Structure formats: structure tokens, C-alpha cells
């Protein structure tokens, strides 16, 4: 595993917006649910500005992995360092990491009792202590970026799934995070709405944001990712540039997976 | 579709159908009757049976009610009047007892000359809670303030309070209406001070004493602010300590001193002069106001990850819920005196309020826990992922949604608790249902009168509980409209 990481670091050309600074470092990380070993010996280094797509069959631990990065899940062994802060049970560090790491969920998880604008300004006002007016201005900017400023005063329940997910992206961006995590952001959407969310994510990728996306959208992976990570049974099985990953998969498990999702 | 398939499988629609109006519905009362009351033989039988029962009840009850006598000084006199009017053997209600003793049902043994004080407290209660209950819609707020104000003035008229008190009430209602129109936030400041004003009006004594008790919260808050930011963890303990020191050692002397400088005293009314609906309202309103926050804290504690807090909450809730309220009331009235240092005289109404509050809070906690459990896990995760800390997440995300889900249960608990205040009759207080009625019947003139007081007291309880129920429905409707 460490071989792959090491060779990757030297082989890949530097893409625009990517630096040598390390955004996330995971070393020998293990996690169990009771007796079940969900994540096994995970080693992963993410550089600032890097776009990573994590793929794999369901139950392979990919969501759990990115949820460990902002401590929605707790790891039991190994180390996770995010933006120079190691995640331990220290609540202060956890809150600090969480305010720097945005997350977009499969089921949007917007707050239904708040308007779109209030969803976006809540965390800046209470966590960052930004004045309300300023937070609203920022929120409107990001809502314009995801192309739904006209919905600002509606409640999430009044929007379509695609619109809700774009609001969720704007809500995360309002905290001006350094890293964005996407946990299957398009899996709960109607086919017609997937594109509008992916377009937003592609635009975000073009700004140089560090992104980790768990997704089954292989087109998105090919277009945007600097690196694709394939997981199975709680382990990283293969990681490579998207070209190599899709055209020249190394492991049998990857080949099988690709043949199944691209086969029809 | 099948016809199309018969012609050819391929099909392309060349014009889209415009939306069409629905077919005409039959309207009118006849249709309504047929659909709702006589839709089949079984339904028809049920309808006829229901009508029969209604007729039976009406037939038995109406003569009694229509033969009611309002002007009589004793049960005996009532019977004579009814016999004279409707013939020997006729029955009728004897509401003369209400006419003569209404004031005891409302105020207990509160001195008659001081009736303006509980009524003023009631009027101010309306002014204090209206801006909280109807914070969104100014039209409803105006309407509620006006109606409750008129009710207060009407009661003042019936109770024959001094003119200056009526004028003062008019002025207060006018001010509240104006403030409610232009600066509803100001009314909320009054809400904060209402407990002090209420306690002072009801029990009398020096105004400074309850004011200094309230000041304890200010002292505690100041102490938290004085702690330097680098010891932020000490702020809360420091605040609590400062408030306790203030309440235990300083509040009394300071209040006494201020009382000497600027006396603001009302005649002291003892707790055992309270009775009737005054007592029920004092216990009910305080219990409602305090059991909700306590219930929220208990519900959060029960879901806490911290083992000791969780265990404490479980034991507290299960113990209190597992014991009948009357047991707690007996503890309040008898046992508590054994545990307290000799010589302490801890007000009986206060003891009862504490017991009723923790009893309702235990139920409240379980109702709210249901609301918390109904929230999808994603809401907690989204709040966490945005970096909100525990209390921010609870206050801004979790509780607003959980409380909204629990509204019917919460109001149900309130209503149950308000009716349970009549149980204080069993520990010797004069609740409207038993305490006062027993007292009224102990007079020879009203011996053996049961139905009339029950109807009167029941009607007032119904009006209050029904209002609470309607409010809960209004709130649910409002919140569901807002949130979708």
C-alpha cells in the first residue's frame, strides 16, 4: 500500500492549484464497528488542492473513511491529521477541524425549519462569529455561485432535490472551508438533477478546492479527479490517476468493479 | 393504451393535453348527509343510535337545567321555589350557590378588599404571555391582547375592585396594545419581570424582596462576564456561586435596606388564604412555566453520552413517573418538614409547586425525548459537520425541530398537570373542585349540593384547557406552514 502512495507522489504531474502542502494525512488508521473491522490499515496523504474520487462497492468503507476525516466517525487506531491538527477525542480540536472541513451528504441534511439563507448563515454567525449582514452577503454570493439566489427565502422543503443539494454545497462553502468532503452527493437524486449538482462540483473543483468525493459518477471522476482511490472490504485496493485507473486497472477486484458499473 | 397497441406499437404524441377542469361535484347538504351519515345500512343504524343517545341525554338533563334557580339563599329555598313553579316532584338546578359563593370558587379566602391584586396579576399574565405565544402575527396578538384585557376588566367589574385599579388596568392594557403594535420586543422585557410582579401582587410584603431574588440572576451573569476569557471554563461555576452567595447571604439584607429607604409594601397575604381557581392558576402556571425547561434538560440528559448524567436522568424520570402525584404532594405537605432543619417554614404553595413541577417535568422529558428520537440522524451530523458545538446544535437545530414534533404531547402534559392541581385538595389546600366545595357544603344552607359546583368548576376548567388545546393546534398549523 505504501508503495502505491509513494510512487504516486513522484509520478503524477503537478496540476494547477495543487501544492506540496499536505491537507490530510492518514496513517495506519483502523476502525471497527463492534467486532466488524470496517477500515483496515488505511494510509492516505492528500495534498492541498488535490481532487480525489473514492469508489468501491457498497459496504467497502468509503463513506466511513471520509466521515472519519471530520470525526463523524471515530477511529480506534492510527492517526488522522487534518490541516495540521490531529484528531483525538479533544473536542476543541474536533470543532476546529469541523469548521475547516465542509461536508455534503447523500440526503442533503438541510435544516428544514430554517430558510435557505438561514441554513447558509447559521454556522458562520455562530461558529465564526461573523456579523449577520456580512454572513448574509457571503451566503448570497455562494448561492449565486450555485445558481439559486432566487430561492434564498424559501424553505428547503419547497426545493427540488438537485436544488437542495446545491444549497447544501453553498452552506458548506459559506464557512469558507479548506477541504470539502462529498458523501455520495448525487445518489439520492433523480437522473435529471444529477447533472446540475455535478456541474456545481466541477466548478468548485476548478477553483482549486481540496476535494474528497465518494461517488459512483465515473464520468465526474474522469473529468475532475487527480486521483481515484478504489476500496474494497475496508482497504484501499488501488489508487491511480483516472486515465490509468479506468484504462488500465491493475487488480482483479478493480477490473470486476469497473466491468460491472461500466459494462452496460 | 390497449386500443393504441391494437393499431400499432409505435406511438408519438404530437400535442400535449392541456389541464382540464375536474368533473362537477355534487354539492349541498343532502349529499353531505348521504355521504357522512347514511352511506350504508350500518352507518345509518349508527347515526340513528347516536341521535337516540343525544336525545336521551338532552331529555333528562334539559328539564333540570331549565328549572334552574339563581336567586336563593339555601338548597331548601331552591326546592321550594322549584316546587312552587313547576309542581311537586320537579327537579331543577340550584345555581344560587354560585351566585352567593362564586368569589370563594375564584379566590378562596383571599381578603375581599384585595381582590384587585389577583385580578391585576391575571391581567398582567395575559400581557406577559401573549407576546411570547403569538410572536409572529401582529393581528392575532392585538386580538388576543384585547380579548384577554376585556375578560380581566369584566372580572374586575364583577369583583367590584376599586376604581383606581380598573383605571390602572385600562392603562396597562392600552400600553400593552400600543407596545404590541410598535415594539413587541419591549413587551418581552416585561415578561422577564412578570414573575416578580406577580409574586409581589399575590403575596404582598416588600417589593424589594422578589426583586432582589431576580437580581440574583443578574449577579450570576455579571460574575460569568468578570471571569477572564483564558479561564472560560470557570465562568459557569463562578456565576452559579455568585448567585448562590447573593441569594443566601445578601439578598435579604439588601432588600430590607432598600425597603427602609423606599418602602413599597402591600399587605401580606398568607398562603393558606389562597384557594379556588387562584390557587389552581398559581400552581398550574408556575408548574407549566418551569416544567418545560426542566423537562428539556432532563430529556437531553437522558440522551447524554456522559454516563453519570444519563443514569441520574433515568433514575429521576423513572422514579418520579413511577410514583403517583398524590404521594409527592403528601411528601411536600408532611415529610418534607422532617428533612428540613427545625424552625424553617417553607411555604406550602411553593412546596406544592416544586412537586408538581418535577412530576410534570418527568413526563415532559419523555415526551420531548420522543421528539428528539424522531429527528433524522442527518440533522445531528449536519450540525456537527458545520462545527456547531453541543449546545449550539441543540438550541439552533435539534430543539426547535424536536419541540415542534412534541407539541401535542407537551400541551397534553400541560393540560393534565393543570387538572391535577385539584389534587392539592387532598393535602388540605382549598382547590376549587374539592376543597372549596367541601367548605361550601359544610354550611347548613348548602348541604348536599353537588352538581351545580361541579358544573361551574368544570366549565371553567374546560374553557382553560380547551384554550390550551386550541393554541397547540394553532401552533402546529403555523409551524407546519412555515417549515413545510
Q: Which three cell numbers stand for residue B99?
A: 351566585
List the single residue in A91, A109, A113 with the smallest CB-CB distance to B382. Answer: A109
Cβ contact (<8 Å) for A158 and B484?
yes
Residue with cell 311537586: B88
Considering only the beta carbons, identify the residue of B378, B386, B483 that sits closest to A98: B386
- Is the minimum CB–CB distance between B375 and chain A shorter than 8 Å? no
Asked if residue B179 has pLDDT above 50, the reply is yes
Low-confidence ranges of chain A (pLDDT < 50): 1-14
- What lies within 8 Å, CB to CB, of B173 at 6+ separation is B123, B127, B145, B146, B149, B152, B153
Contact: A113, B483; criterion CB under 8 Å = yes
Confidence category of residue B5, pLDDT binned at 50, 70, 90: low
Which one of B378, B385, B396 has the shortest CB-CB distance to A107?
Answer: B378
Distances (CA, A) of B301 to A135, B236, B323, B360, B421: 33, 18, 21, 16, 27
* HSE-up of residue A231 (Cα within 13 Å, Cβ side): 27
Cross-chain residue pair A98–B397, CB shorter than 8 Å: no
Whether B15 contacts chain A with CB within 8 A: no
Query: Edge-to-edge, what's the strand order for the sheet holding A36-47?
Result: A36-47, A22-33, A77-82, A85-86
**Given CB atoms, is B386 within the 8 Å cutoff of chain A?**
yes
Q: State the CATH architecture for B269-483.
A: Orthogonal Bundle (1.10)
pLDDT at B31: 81
Give the DSSP per-residue string, A48-92: TT-EEEEE--TTSSHHHHHHHHTTSS--SEEEEEETTEE-SS-HH
Q: Which residue of B has its CA nearest to A95?
A: B387
Q: Which residues of B touch A108 (CB under 8 A)?
A: 378
What integer pLDDT is reported at residue A1 of this predicted model?
39
A113 vs B385: CB contact, 8 Å cut-off?
Answer: no
Q: Which residues on chain A are in Cβ contact (under 8 Å) with B478?
A: none
What's the rounded Cα separation, in Å, for the pair B418 and B359? Answer: 12
Q: Tell me whether residues A111 and B388 touch, CB distance under 8 A.
A: no
pLDDT of residue A15: 53
Question: A26 has which bridge partners?
Answer: A44, A80
Q: Which three cell numbers stand for residue B101?
A: 359563593
Show residues of chain B in contact with A111, CB under 8 Å.
379, 382, 397, 401
* CB-based contact A109 B381, cutoff 8 Å: yes
User: Residue written as cell 343525544?
Assistant: B54
Q: Is A127 in Cβ contact with B378 (below 8 Å)?
A: no
DSSP state of A228: E
Suggest the residue from B377, B380, B385 to mutate for an interface test with chain A (most A CBs closer than 10 A): B385
Q: Which residues pair with A184 in a beta bridge?
A: none
A chain contacts of residue B382, beta-carbon cutoff 8 Å = 103, 105, 109-111
Nearest-CB residue to A123 (from B388, B400, B401): B388
Partners of A42 in the β-ladder: A29
The conformation of residue B341, written as its DSSP 8-state character, comes to P
Which among A91, A156, A175 has CB closest to B386?
A175
What confidence tens digit (pLDDT) does each residue in A101-136 have? 999 999 999 999 999 999 999 999 999 999 999 999
3-state DSSP call for residue A31?
A: strand
User: In chain A, count of helices (H) and strands (E)?
Assistant: 10, 10
Distances (CA, A) of A53 to A40, A183, B11, B260: 19, 10, 42, 77
The residue of chain A with its CA nearest to that of B381 is A72
- Identify which of B392, B404, B484 has the shortest CB distance to residue A126: B392
Q: Give the model confidence (pLDDT) of A4-28 as tens digits.
A: 443 344 344 445 556 678 999 999 9
For chain B, what is the mean pLDDT? 89
For residue B435, give Cα distances in angstroms to B99, B460, B465: 18, 16, 20
- Among B385, B396, B483, the residue with its CB nearest the CB of A70 is B385
Average pLDDT on B37-54 reads 92
With CA atoms as reference, the chain A residue closest to B385 would be A98
Instruction: Inform me whether the C-beta atom of residue B374 falls under 8 Å from chain A C-beta atoms.
Output: no
Q: Chain A within 8 Å of B40 (Cβ-Cβ)?
A: no
**A212: which chain B residues are within 8 Å (Cβ-Cβ)?**
none
Cβ of residue B388 closer than 8 Å to a chain A Cβ: yes
pLDDT of residue A10: 36
The pLDDT of B216-245, averaged and rounded, is 84
- Is the per-residue pLDDT at B1 higher than 50? no
What DSSP assignment string belongs to B426-482? Answer: GGT-B-TTTHHHHHHHTSGGGTT--HHHHHHHHHHHHHHHHHHHHHHHHHHHHHHHH
Nearest CB to B401 within list A113, A156, A158: A113
| Grid cell digits, residue B338 | 422532617
Strands A227-232 vs A51-55: parallel, antiparallel or unpaired: parallel
pLDDT digits (tens, 9 = 90+) for B276-326: 999 999 999 999 999 999 999 999 999 998 999 999 999 999 999 999 999
Domain made up of A22-262: CATH architecture: 3-Layer(aba) Sandwich (3.40)
- Test A99 with B386 for CB contact under 8 angstroms: yes
Q: Is B67 helix (H, G, I), strand (E, B) or coil?
A: coil
Contacts of B221 (CB under 8 A, 6+ apart): B239
pLDDT value, residue B333: 84
HSE value, Cβ hemisphere, 13 Å, CA-based, for B471: 20
Q: Touching check for B387 and chain A: CB below 8 Å?
A: yes
> Per residue, what are the HEC states of B118-137?
HHHHHHHHHHHHHHHHCCCC
Q: Which of B379, B382, B388 sits opposite A126 (nearest CB)?
A: B388
Whether chain A has a CB inside 8 Å of the CB on B407: the answer is: no
Distances (CA, A) of A152 to A52, A112, A146, A164: 31, 13, 12, 11
- Over residues B317-336, the mean pLDDT reads 90
Cell 403575596 belongs to which residue? B203
Give the position of cell 463523524.
A72
Q: Looking at A122-209, which runs of residues are DSSP E strands?
A: 179-183
Please tell me the least confidently modeled range out of A112-116, B154-158, B266-270, B338-342. B338-342
Interface of A with B (CB under 8 A): 70, 72, 91, 95-96, 98-99, 101-103, 105, 107-113, 122-123, 126-127, 155-158, 171-172, 175
Tell me which residue of A86, A4, A55, A99 sits closest to A230, measured CA to CA. A55
Q: Which helix (H) or strand (E) holds A105?
A: none
Contact A112 B392 (CB under 8 A): no
B249 burial level (CB within 10 Å; 0-12, 13-18, 19+)? exposed
pLDDT at B320: 95
- From chain B, the residues in CB contact with A98 under 8 A are 384-387
Residues 6+ apart with CB under 8 A from B296: B364, B365, B368, B399, B403
CA separation for the pair B363, B315 (Å, rounded): 13
User: How much of chain B exceeds pLDDT 90, in percent?
Assistant: 53
Query: Smallest Cα–Cα separation from B177: which of B227, B127, B249, B239?
Result: B127
Q: Is A12 helix (H, G, I), strand (E, B) or coil?
A: coil
Note whether B382 contacts A110, CB cutoff 8 Å: yes
User: What ranges in B206-324 are assigned the alpha helix state H?
Assistant: 208-226, 235-245, 251-261, 276-302, 307-321
ipTM given for this complex:
0.89
| Predicted confidence band of residue B260 (pLDDT cuts 50, 70, 90) | confident
In this structure, how many other beta carbons lie within 10 angstroms of the beta carbon of residue B36?
Answer: 10
Question: Is residue B326 within 8 Å of B429, Cβ to Cβ?
Answer: no
- Quick check: B275 pLDDT over 80? yes
- Three-class secondary structure of residue B78 per DSSP: helix
CA-based nearest distance A223→chain B, Å: 27
Domain ranges of chain B: 116-187, 205-266, 269-483
Amino acid at each position: 500500500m505504501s508503495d502505491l502512495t509513494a510512487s504516486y507522489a513522484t509520478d503524477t504531474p503537478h496540476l494547477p492549484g495543487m501544492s506540496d502542502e499536505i491537507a490530510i494525512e492518514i496513517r495506519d488508521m483502523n476502525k471497527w464497528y463492534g467486532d466488524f473491522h470496517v477500515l483496515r490499515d488505511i494510509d492516505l496523504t492528500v495534498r492541498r488542492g488535490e481532487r480525489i474520487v473514492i469508489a468501491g462497492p457498497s459496504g467497502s468503507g468509503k463513506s466511513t473513511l471520509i466521515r472519519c476525516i471530520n470525526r463523524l466517525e471515530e477511529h480506534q487506531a492510527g492517526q488522522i491529521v487534518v490541516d495540521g491538527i490531529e484528531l483525538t477525542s479533544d473536542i476543541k480540536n474536533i470543532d476546529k477541524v469541523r469548521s475547516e472541513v465542509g461536508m455534503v451528504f447523500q440526503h442533503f441534511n438541510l435544516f428544514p425549519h430554517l430558510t435557505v439563507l438561514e441554513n447558509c448563515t447559521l454556522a458562520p454567525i455562530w461558529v465564526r462569529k461573523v456579523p449577520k449582514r456580512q454572513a448574509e452577503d457571503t451566503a448570497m454570493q455562494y448561492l449565486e455561485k450555485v445558481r439559486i439566489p432566487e430561492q434564498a427565502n424559501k424553505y428547503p422543503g419547497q426545493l427540488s432535490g438537485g436544488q437542495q443539494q446545491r444549497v447544501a454545497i453553498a452552506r458548506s462553502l459559506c464557512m469558507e472551508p479548506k477541504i470539502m468532503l462529498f458523501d455520495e452527493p448525487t445518489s439520492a437524486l433523480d437522473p435529471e438533477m444529477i447533472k446540475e449538482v455535478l456541474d456545481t462540483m466541477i466548478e468548485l473543483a476548478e477553483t482549486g478546492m481540496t476535494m474528497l468525493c465518494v461517488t459512483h459518477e465515473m464520468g465526474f471522476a474522469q473529468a475532475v479527479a487527480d486521483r481515484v482511490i478504489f476500496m474494497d472490504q475496508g482497504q484501499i485496493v488501488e489508487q491511480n490517476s483516472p486515465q490509468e485507473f479506468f484504462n488500465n486497472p491493475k487488480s482483479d477486484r478493480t477490473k470486476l468493479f469497473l466491468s460491472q458499473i461500466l459494462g452496460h | 393504451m390497449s386500443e393504441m397497441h391494437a393499431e400499432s406499437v409505435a406511438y408519438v404524441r404530437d400535442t400535449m393535453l392541456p389541464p382540464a377542469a375536474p368533473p362537477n361535484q355534487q354539492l349541498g347538504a343532502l349529499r353531505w348527509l348521504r355521504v357522512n351519515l347514511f352511506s350504508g345500512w350500518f352507518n345509518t343504524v349508527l347515526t340513528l343510535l347516536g341521535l337516540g343517545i343525544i336525545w336521551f341525554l338532552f331529555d333528562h338533563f334539559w328539564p333540570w337545567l331549565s328549572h334552574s334557580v339563581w336567586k336563593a339563599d339555601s338548597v331548601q329555598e331552591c326546592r321550594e321555589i322549584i316546587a312552587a313553579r313547576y309542581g311537586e316532584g320537579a327537579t331543577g338546578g340550584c345555581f344560587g350557590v354560585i351566585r352567593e359563593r362564586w368569589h370563594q370558587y375564584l379566590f378562596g379566602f383571599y381578603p375581599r378588599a384585595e381582590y384587585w391584586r389577583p385580578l391585576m396579576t391575571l391581567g398582567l399574565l395575559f400581557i406577559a404571555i401573549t407576546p411570547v405565544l403569538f410572536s409572529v402575527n401582529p393581528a392575532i396578538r392585538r386580538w388576543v391582547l384585547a380579548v384577554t384585557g376585556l375578560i380581566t376588566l369584566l372580572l374586575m367589574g364583577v369583583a367590584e375592585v376599586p376604581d383606581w385599579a380598573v383605571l390602572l388596568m385600562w392603562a396597562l392594557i392600552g400600553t400593552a396594545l400600543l407596545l404590541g403594535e410598535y415594539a413587541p420586543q419591549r413587551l418581552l422585557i416585561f415578561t422577564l419581570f412578570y414573575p416578580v410582579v406577580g409574586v409581589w401582587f399575590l403575596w404582598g410584603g416588600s417589593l424589594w424582596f422578589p426583586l432582589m431574588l431576580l437580581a440574583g440572576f443578574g449577579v450570576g451573569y455579571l460574575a460569568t462576564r468578570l471571569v477572564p476569557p483564558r479561564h472560560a471554563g470557570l465562568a459557569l461555576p463562578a456565576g452559579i456561586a455568585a448567585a448562590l452567595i447573593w441569594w443566601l447571604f445578601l439578598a435579604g439584607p439588601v432588600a430590607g435596606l432598600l425597603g427602609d429607604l423606599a418602602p413599597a409594601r402591600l399587605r401580606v397575604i398568607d398562603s393558606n388564604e389562597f384557594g379556588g381557581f387562584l390557587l389552581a392558576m398559581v400552581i398550574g402556571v408556575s408548574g407549566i412555566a418551569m416544567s418545560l425547561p426542566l423537562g428539556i434538560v432532563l430529556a437531553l440528559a437522558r440522551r447524554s453520552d456522559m454516563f453519570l448524567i444519563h443514569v441520574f436522568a433515568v433514575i429521576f424520570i423513572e422514579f418520579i413517573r413511577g410514583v403517583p402525584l398524590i404521594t409527592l404532594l403528601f411528601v411536600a405537605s408532611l415529610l418534607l418538614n422532617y428533612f428540613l432543619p427545625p424552625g424553617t417554614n417553607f411555604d406550602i404553595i411553593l412546596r406544592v409547586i416544586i412537586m408538581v413541577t418535577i412530576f410534570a417535568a418527568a413526563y415532559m422529558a419523555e415526551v420531548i425525548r420522543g421528539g428528539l428520537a424522531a429527528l433524522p440522524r442527518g440533522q445531528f451530523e449536519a450540525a456537527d459537520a458545520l462545527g456547531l458545538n453541543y449546545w449550539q446544535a441543540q438550541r439552533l437545530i435539534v430543539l426547535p425541530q424536536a419541540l415542534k414534533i412534541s407539541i401535542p404531547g407537551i400541551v397534553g402534559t400541560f393540560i393534565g398537570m393543570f387538572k391535577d392541581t385539584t389534587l392539592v385538595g387532598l393535602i388540605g389546600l382549598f382547590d376549587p373542585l374539592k376543597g372549596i366545595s367541601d367548605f361550601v357544603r359544610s354550611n347548613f344552607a348548602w348541604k348536599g349540593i353537588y352538581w351545580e359546583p361541579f358544573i361551574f368548576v368544570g366549565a371553567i376548567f374546560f374553557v382553560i384547557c380547551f384554550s390550551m388545546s386550541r393554541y397547540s393546534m394553532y401552533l402546529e398549523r403555523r409551524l407546519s406552514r412555515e417549515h413545510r
